[in-house]
Amino acid sequence: MEAGETMSIGDSGKVDLEFVNVTHSIIDAINPVLHTPEGAVVYGLDKRMDHTPVIGDPIDMERFREIGREGEGVLCYIEDCTNANKKGRTPSEKVAREHLRDVLYSIEDYDGGIVATTFSSHIARVKSLVEFADDIGRQPVLLGRSMEKYSGTAERLDFVDFPSDLGMFGHRKSVDRTFKRIMNEGKENYLPIVTGHQGEPRAMLTRMARGETPYELDDGDKVVFSARVIPEPTNEGQRYQAEKLLGMQGARVYDDIHVSGHLNQEGHYEMLDALQPQHIIPAHQDMSGYSSYVNLCESEGYKMGRDLHVTRNGNLIQLVD
Amino acid sequence: MEAGETMSIGDSGKVDLEFVNVTHSIIDAINPVLHTPEGAVVYGLDKRMDHTPVIGDPIDMERFREIGREGEGVLCYIEDCTNANKKGRTPSEKVAREHLRDVLYSIEDYDGGIVATTFSSHIARVKSLVEFADDIGRQPVLLGRSMEKYSGTAERLDFVDFPSDLGMFGHRKSVDRTFKRIMNEGKENYLPIVTGHQGEPRAMLTRMARGETPYELDDGDKVVFSARVIPEPTNEGQRYQAEKLLGMQGARVYDDIHVSGHLNQEGHYEMLDALQPQHIIPAHQDMSGYSSYVNLCESEGYKMGRDLHVTRNGNLIQLVD
Amino acid sequence: MEAGETMSIGDSGKVDLEFVNVTHSIIDAINPVLHTPEGAVVYGLDKRMDHTPVIGDPIDMERFREIGREGEGVLCYIEDCTNANKKGRTPSEKVAREHLRDVLYSIEDYDGGIVATTFSSHIARVKSLVEFADDIGRQPVLLGRSMEKYSGTAERLDFVDFPSDLGMFGHRKSVDRTFKRIMNEGKENYLPIVTGHQGEPRAMLTRMARGETPYELDDGDKVVFSARVIPEPTNEGQRYQAEKLLGMQGARVYDDIHVSGHLNQEGHYEMLDALQPQHIIPAHQDMSGYSSYVNLCESEGYKMGRDLHVTRNGNLIQLVD
Amino acid sequence: MEAGETMSIGDSGKVDLEFVNVTHSIIDAINPVLHTPEGAVVYGLDKRMDHTPVIGDPIDMERFREIGREGEGVLCYIEDCTNANKKGRTPSEKVAREHLRDVLYSIEDYDGGIVATTFSSHIARVKSLVEFADDIGRQPVLLGRSMEKYSGTAERLDFVDFPSDLGMFGHRKSVDRTFKRIMNEGKENYLPIVTGHQGEPRAMLTRMARGETPYELDDGDKVVFSARVIPEPTNEGQRYQAEKLLGMQGARVYDDIHVSGHLNQEGHYEMLDALQPQHIIPAHQDMSGYSSYVNLCESEGYKMGRDLHVTRNGNLIQLVD
C-alpha cells in the first residue's frame, strides 16, 4: 500500500485505511488515516512539513485539509510531539542541503582527507553527500554496516538513483580493503561517508578516530557531521569522546549540518488548522514533551479532559457513545 | 483557626476542615485537609519538609502519616508541583541560615558598607540577618515598604522577637533620613536589610545601585543576596542590570544564599509515602512542571486517567460515584 | 578607497595600505592590510568566510593567500574573535536566504498579516525579504527610522537594486499613515519589514506588539524574526517581553532565521592557513572569548608570550627590534 | 615540614620556604611561600577560604596579610583559578556538613538501605558521614579501594579520629563479605560509604547499581551523593548512567550535597586584598577559566602585560632586572 492509497478494513465495509504522504528524515513516510462512520482518526507519525524535500513528494497538506473538511471531519488526531517544545518552523531538507553544499564547497581546495557522517537511514542526505562529493572532485564511498544496508535497499527499491559505480561496504574486511585502497590512491580523491555521527563506540567514525582502521587522519583533515547530537547525557558523552579523539589526530570538525525530521510548534499549528480535529491526543513523549503542545491546543480552544486527552500508552479513551 | 485545629464545615456535620502545620518561606504555613465520609482531601499548598525551621514548628509529618492511615485514608491529594522537577531534597532553612552565617562572619573585619537583601515575607531569613548583623558588630535596619510591612506585622503578631530598637522604615523620607544617619555615623556600623533581591527597578537596592539614595557605595562594599533569581527572562534581565550597576560602583556581590520553600522530588516521594492517597491531582504548574511528578507517581503505581489526574483549573473531576 | 585598492601611507613611501574584500552582515566590508618593510600587518575586522554572499563579491581568500606568501609574509595578524568559541563553519548568507525562503513560501497561503524584522544594516537580508515578499504576492514596505536610513542609503549608493516602488518610512507619522493604508487595503497584501528584532522597547515591532500602531495583529498572524537574540540578559529579557506581547495578540513567531557575520573556528583555521602570520593578536573580546582562539593557535604551533599575544586595548607590543 | 614552618632554601641563606596553612577538600593543605630578597613569591595552590573547617585549622589569613605587609611585600602571586568564574563566596565545609546532616536526619526513620558516596580523599566529609550514621542509628562502613586507602592513612597519621570499630574494606573479597553480612544482619542497620560519586564504571556504587555486589537495592532505598558532578561530558554521561541504573532498581537519589574546595570570586578578591601582590600570574586553567580572574585583577588596577601575566606552563617570566 502506497501513499495516497486507501483500503477497506474489517468486514463491515464501513472502515477504510488511507495513507497520506508526509515528509520525514526517511523516504516514503506516510501518516495513516482511519476513516470511520464517526469521522477520521489521523495518526500523526513522525513528520516534517516539507514543501521541497530532496527526495520524494512534498507533504500532502491539500489532502489533510480535505480530510478536515469532508464527511464528519476529524474525530481524533493523535500527534507525535517530539519537537513540540521548539519554536518556529522546522526547515526543509533543502535548507540542510544548501548548508551541506556550502560546507563541502568551502573545503573544495583542501588536498587531504575529508570524511562525512550522517544517519544511515537518511537517504536524501546521503544522496546530497554523494552529489557534492562529485562536485568537489572526490569519489564518494559508503562505509559501515547500516550505511550499506539502508542505501543498498533504497537503491534496489528505486527510491534513489545513485551513480552506478558508488561503492557501499558493510563487512569489516571489505571496509578495510577500501580504506587501504583510499590510502594508496590518495585521500584527496575520496569522500568516505561513514557511520558514527553520535560517537557510537563501535561505529566506523569512532574506529577511525581511535586509529583502528587503515585510514590515517592527518593534521587539518576534515570531518563533516551532517547530524545533530541527540540530547541525552550518555550520548553526549560518547560524541564528546569521539570528537576529542578526532581532535587529537588533528582533524577539524564541521558539526550540526542538519535539520530535524519532526514538526516544530508552527508545523503543529498548521496541522491543527488543516485538520480541525474534534479530539486531540498528544503522543510519543513524556509529560514535559507535551507541555508546549498542550499550551498550543489550549490557545486554539481545546480543553484538557474534554477534547484534549493527555494520556499514556495502554490507556483506553472512548470518544463517542 | 490555627495549625492543628479542626472545624466543622456545612450543616451535615459530616465534613471537617483541619489545618496541618507545614514549613515554608513564610511563617505559620498550613496545608488544609478536608475530612469527608469518603476519605480525606489533602490540599498540598506550598511547603518544604523542614525538621529544623528557624522560626516555628517542624512540618507535622506524624499527622500526615496518621491521616494516611485513619478512617477511609486519603481520597485525594492535590499537590503543589513548583519544584517537582528538581532532584533530591530541599534543604532546611537551618542550612540557609548556616550558609548566611558563614558569609556574614567571613566579612566581619570589613570596615565599609555591607548591605543585605532578601524576600520581605521571609521572616525567618530576616531574623537570621538581624542576628548575624549583631554578631558582627553592626546595627541592622530594615528598609523598604514591604520590608517594613511584613516584619512589622510579624512582630506585632508575636511571630518573631526582634530587638526592641530594630529600625524599620518604609516611607521614602524616613528611609532617606536613615541612610543619611548611616552615612554620618559610618557605614561600618550598620547592616541595611533592603528590598530589591530580584533587581526590581523601583526597589530599594536598585535605587541604591543607581545612586538615587544618600547611601554611597564604595569600592569593596559588600552586597549580600539571600535569595535566588527567579528563572524568568524579564526577571533575569532586571537582576543582571542591578548587579551591573552595583558592580560599576565597586560593590562585591554575594549571591544565591538561599534554600527554596518548595518540595523537591524526594519530599514529594515522602509525602506520597505518608499519605498513600487513592487519587492524585498535580497543581500550580504547567504541563512541563508536572512531568517529573507524573513520573514519580507512575513509578509508585499510579496511572494517568485512573487515579492520577492531570487537569487544569476550572475542570471538575468526580472521584466517587 | 575601495576593496582591492592600495594607497601609500606617510612620506617614507615604504608603507602601503590595502583594503581586501571580505564578507560580513553589512555590504562592502573590507579588512585593512598595512604593507611594511618588515611584512604585512593584517587587521582582521568583522567578517564571515562567504563564497556565495547574496550581495557583493565573495571573500577574497586568493588575495589573503598571496599576502601570506609574498615578500616578508605577514608580520602580524590581529583577529576579531567574536565567534571563535563556536565550532564548525559559519554558513554563507545563501543558507540564511534559503532558510528564509523556506519559511516565507511555507506561509504563502496565509491570508492575514505577516510581519518580518531583521537588522536594518543587513541589506542582503532586507533584499531577500523584499524579493520573497513579491514571490508570495505581497507588497514589501520598510518601516522604522533605521530601516529607512540604511536601506535608503544603500539604494542611493547603488549597493542594492530595490523595486522602484518600494516604500521606506522612518518618521512616525508616515509609518502610521502606511499602517492605516495597509489596514484599509488588507493586511494580506503586504509584508511590513520593521525594526525591533531584539525586542527593543521603542522599536517598531515592539510598538506593534503593544498595540501602539494602527496595524492590528490578529490570531494566527505571522511574525518572522530573521535575526538571532544577542545573548545578554538585558537583551534576552526585552526580546522575551516582546514575544510575550506578540503571543498575547495571537501572533505566531518564526525566529532564528539567521547566520552570523563572524568567523567560527574553522574559518579562523582557514585564515591562519592562508596568512601564516609570524605573530597573532586576538582582539574584540574578553579573555573568555579568546580561549578557543588561543587553543587553536597553540594547536598550530604558536606560543603565548612568544608569537601569540593576548593583550588589551592601549597596550603596546613591539614585534621587531 | 608543616603548615606555619619555614626552612632555608639553597646555599645563599637568602631564600626561605614557608608553608602557610590553608583549607581545601583534603586535610593538611598548605600554600608555599618563597621569601626572596626581592619580595615573597606566593604559590596559591588549591584552597577554599574556610574559617570553620570540620577538620584542622582555619585558613591563616592573618599570616597572608602579614606577608603582604612585611619586607618587600609580595613580588608575585601565582593563583589557582579553578572556580574564578563563579560568583560570590565558596561556603565553608561547615555548611556542607549541615546540609549533609539535614539530609541524613530527614531519612532517619527509613527502615531500608541507605548508601552514601563522596570523594575518598575528602576526610572531613567522610568523618561527617561516619558521625551522622551513628546519630541515625546505623553502623558506618567504608567500602572501595581508595576509600580504604585514604581513610586508613588519615587515621594512621592521626589526622582524624574515627570510631575504633569503623570497618574499612578495599579488596573485592572483603567488600563482598561485608555486603553479605549487611544483607544478613539487615540493611537498616548500616550506612555503607562507598566510592563511585562520579559514576565511574568500576567504582563500588556503579557495581552496586548494576547488581554486581551482594548488596541488593530495593524500592525506596536512599543513595546520598555528597559530591557534585564534575562538569565534563564524558563524566556527565557516566554519572547519568549510574543514576539511571540506580533508579531502575528503585533507589531514591539525594545529590549535590557538597561545597567546592576552590575559591570563588570573592575569595580571590580577599586574597588580593590581603597580599597586595606586585605581579599576578593566574594558573591551573585555560584562557576561558582565567577570564573572570583577569577582569577582577583589572578592576583592582592591574594591567595585562605589565603586572598581570597570562601565560602557559613552560614560559619564563622575568619580574625584576
DSSP string, A146-182: HHHHHHHHHHHTTS----TT-EEE-SHHHHHHHHHHH
DSSP string, D183-217: HHH-GGGEEEEES-TT--TTSHHHHHHTT-SSPPP
Could you tell me where the DSSP H helices lie in chain B?
61-69, 93-106, 123-135, 145-156, 172-185, 204-209, 233-248, 265-275, 287-299
Average pLDDT over residues B218-243: 96
Q: Answer yes or no: do C273 and C166 share one domain.
A: no
Q: Is the CB of residue B20 less than 8 Å from the CB of residue B2?
A: no
**Of C298, C289, C299, which is closest to residue C79 (Cα–Cα)?**
C289
Whether C89 and chain A come into contact, CB under 8 Å, resolves to yes
Angle between helix axes C265-275 and C61-69 (nearest 10 degrees) is: 40
Residue type, C298: E
The domain boundary residue, chosen from D220, D254, D288 = D254
| Nearest residue of chain D to residue B250 (CA atoms) | D299
Residues present in chain D in total: 321
pLDDT tens-digit readout, D198-222: 999 999 999 999 999 999 999 999 9
Whether C291 and chain D come into contact, CB under 8 Å, resolves to yes
Mutate to test the interface with D, among B65, B93, B99 (most CBs of D within 10 A): B99
Q: Answer yes or no: do D150 and D66 share one domain.
A: no
Q: Answer yes or no: do A73 and A97 share one domain.
A: no
Q: Answer yes or no: do A73 and A164 share one domain.
A: no
Q: CA–CA separation, A207 vs B307, rounded Å?
A: 50
DSSP string, D232-279: -HHHHHHHHHHHHHHHHTT-EEE------SS--HHHHHHHHHHH--SE
Structural domain contains residue A305:
no
- Looking at residue A213, what is its pLDDT? 97
Average pLDDT over residues A167-193: 98
| Nearest residue of chain D to residue A235 (CA atoms) | D237
pLDDT top residue among B11 and C144: C144
- Phi-psi map region of B305: left, alpha, beta (phi>0 left; psi -120 to 50 alpha): left
Cross-chain Cβ contact A102/C88 below 8 Å: no
Question: Could you read off the pLDDT tens digit of each residue along chain C, which spans 321 residues?
Answer: 889 999 999 888 899 999 999 999 999 899 999 999 999 999 999 999 999 999 999 999 999 999 999 999 999 999 999 999 999 999 999 999 999 999 999 999 999 999 999 999 999 999 999 999 999 999 999 999 999 999 999 999 999 999 999 999 999 999 999 999 999 999 999 999 999 999 999 999 999 999 999 999 999 999 999 999 999 999 999 999 999 999 999 999 999 999 999 999 999 999 999 999 999 999 988 888 899 999 999 999 999 888 999 887 777 778 877
Indicate the burial class of B275 (C-beta count within 10 angstroms; 0-12, 13-18, 19 or more): buried
Structural domain contains residue D318:
no
Average pLDDT over residues A158-164: 94
Average pLDDT over residues B244-258: 97
Q: Answer yes or no: do B74 and B153 share one domain.
A: no
Q: Is the CB of residue C124 less than 8 Å from the CB of residue C54?
A: yes
- Phi-psi map region of A229: left, alpha, beta (phi>0 left; psi -120 to 50 alpha): beta
Residue type, C39: G
Q: Answer yes or no: do C156 and C42 share one domain.
A: no
Q: How many domains does chain D have?
A: 2
In D, which residues are within 8 Å of C85 by CB distance? 288
DSSP string, A1-49: --TT-EEEESSSS-EEEEEEE-B-SSSS-EEEEEEETTEEEEEE-S-B-
- Looking at residue D253, what is its pLDDT? 98
List Cβ neighbours of C51 (8 Å cut-off, separation of 6 or more): A102, A105, A106, C58, C59, C92
In B, which residues are within 8 Å of D257 by CB distance? 88
- Looking at residue C11, what is its pLDDT? 86
Mean pLDDT taken over chain A: 95
Joined grid coordinates for residue C277: 602570520
| Option in A287, A303, A317 nearest B287 (CB) | A287
- Looking at residue C40, what is its pLDDT? 97
Q: CA–CA separation, C134 vs C108, rounded Å?
A: 11
Strand partners, A32: A19
Closest Cα in chain D, distance from residue B12 (Å): 39
Which domain CATH number covers A281? Answer: 3.60.15.10
Selected residues 222-251 of chain C with any CB under 8 Å from a CB in chain B: 232-241
Cross-chain Cβ contact A88/C220 below 8 Å: no
DSSP string, B143-190: ESHHHHHHHHHHHHTTS----TT-EEE-SHHHHHHHHHHHHHH-GGGE
The domain boundary residue, chosen from D254, D287, D312 = D254
| Nearest residue of chain A to residue C299 (CA atoms) | A250
Helices and strands counted in chain B (H then E): 9, 12
pLDDT over 90 for what percent of chain B? Answer: 90
Closest Cα in chain B, distance from residue D236 (Å): 15
Q: What is the DSSP letter of D48?
A: B
| Nearest residue of chain A to residue D235 (CA atoms) | A237
- Cα Dmax for chain C: 73
Cross-chain Cβ contact D103/B89 below 8 Å: yes
Strand partners, C33: C18, C42
Q: Answer yes or no: do D50 and D161 share one domain.
A: no
**How many C-beta neighbours within 10 Å does residue A241 have?**
18
Cross-chain Cβ contact A286/B291 below 8 Å: yes
Q: Answer yes or no: do D159 and D200 share one domain.
A: yes
Structural domain contains residue C312:
no
Q: Is the CB of residue A172 less than 8 Å from the CB of residue A208?
A: no
Which domain CATH number covers A128? Answer: 3.40.50.10710
Q: Answer yes or no: do B167 and B274 share one domain.
A: no
Strand partners, A42: A33, A77
Grid cell 562507598 — which residue? D194
**Of D202, D189, D127, D140, which is closest to residue D168 (Cα–Cα)?**
D140
Phi, psi (degrees; rounded to nearest 5) at B79 = -125, 135
Q: Answer yes or no: do D231 and D132 share one domain.
A: yes
Structural domain contains residue C25:
yes
Could you tell me where the DSSP H helices lie in chain C?
61-69, 93-106, 123-135, 145-156, 172-185, 204-209, 233-248, 265-275, 287-299
Strand partners, A41: A34, A76
| Nearest residue of chain A to residue B308 (CA atoms) | A311
Q: Is the pLDDT score of A66 beyond 80?
A: yes
Mutate to test the interface with C, among B200, B206, B236 (most CBs of C within 10 A): B236
| Option in D294, D298, D315 nearest C304 (CB) | D315
Cross-chain Cβ contact B303/A315 below 8 Å: yes
**Of C36, C91, C90, C31, which is closest to residue C63 (Cα–Cα)?**
C31
Task: Give every strand in the sheet of A15-21, ordered side by side.
Answer: A6-9, A15-21, A30-36, A39-44, A74-80, A279-283
Average pLDDT over residues A285-307: 91
Q: Is the pLDDT score of D313 beyond 80?
A: no
Whether B118 and chain C come into contact, CB under 8 Å, resolves to no
- Looking at residue C121, what is its pLDDT? 97
Closest Cα in chain C, distance from residue B239 (Å): 9
CB pairs under 8 A between A and C: 70
Closest Cα in chain C, distance from residue A250 (Å): 8
pLDDT tens-digit readout, D230-288: 999 999 999 999 999 999 999 999 999 999 999 999 999 999 999 999 999 999 888 88
Structural domain contains residue A111:
yes
Provide the ipTM. 0.95
Q: Answer yes or no: do C108 and C173 share one domain.
A: yes
Cross-chain Cβ contact D238/A238 below 8 Å: no
In B, which residues are within 8 Å of A301 by CB distance? none
Contacts of B among chains (3+ CB pairs under 8 A) = A, C, D
- CA-CA distances (angstroms) from residue D41 to D31, D266, D270, D275? 11, 22, 17, 10
Q: Is the pLDDT score of D1 beyond 90?
A: no
Q: Is the pLDDT score of B312 beyond 80?
A: no
Whether D87 and chain C come into contact, CB under 8 Å, resolves to no
| Option in A49, A51, A87 nearest C255 (CB) | A87
In B, which residues are within 8 Å of C240 by CB distance? 232-234, 237
List Cβ neighbours of B171 (8 Å cut-off, separation of 6 or more): B145
Structural domain contains residue D313:
no
Residue-number span of the structural domain to which B215 is assigned: 93-254
In A, which residues are within 8 Å of D236 by CB distance? 233, 236-237
Mutate to test the interface with D, among A236, A245, A248, A255 (most CBs of D within 10 A): A236
Joined grid coordinates for residue C291: 580561549
Which of A302-311, D56-65, D230-239, D267-276 has the lowest average pLDDT? A302-311
Residue type, A236: E
Reduced 3-state DSSP string for C143-211: ECHHHHHHHHHHHHCCCCCCCCCCEEECCHHHHHHHHHHHHHHCHHHEEEEECCCCCCCCCHHHHHHCC
Joined grid coordinates for residue A288: 514535559
Average pLDDT over residues A204-228: 97
Structural domain contains residue D311:
no
List Cβ neighbours of D50 (8 Å cut-off, separation of 6 or more): D23, D58, D59, D92, D93, D94
Q: Answer yes or no: do B170 and B99 share one domain.
A: yes
Which of B182-191, D45-54, D101-110, D284-293 has the lowest average pLDDT? D284-293
- Looking at residue A10, what is its pLDDT? 85
Grid cell 484534549 — which residue? A308
- Looking at residue C2, what is its pLDDT? 87
Structural domain contains residue B142:
yes
Average pLDDT over residues B47-69: 97
Q: Is the pLDDT score of D316 beyond 90?
A: no
| Nearest residue of chain B to residue D92 (CA atoms) | B102
Phi, psi (degrees; rounded to nearest 5) at B208 = -60, -40
- Looking at residue C102, what is its pLDDT? 98
In A, which residues are within 8 Å of C220 by CB distance? 269, 273
Residue type, D1: M
Mean pLDDT taken over chain B: 95
Q: Is the CB of residue C13 less than 8 Å from the CB of residue C19?
A: no
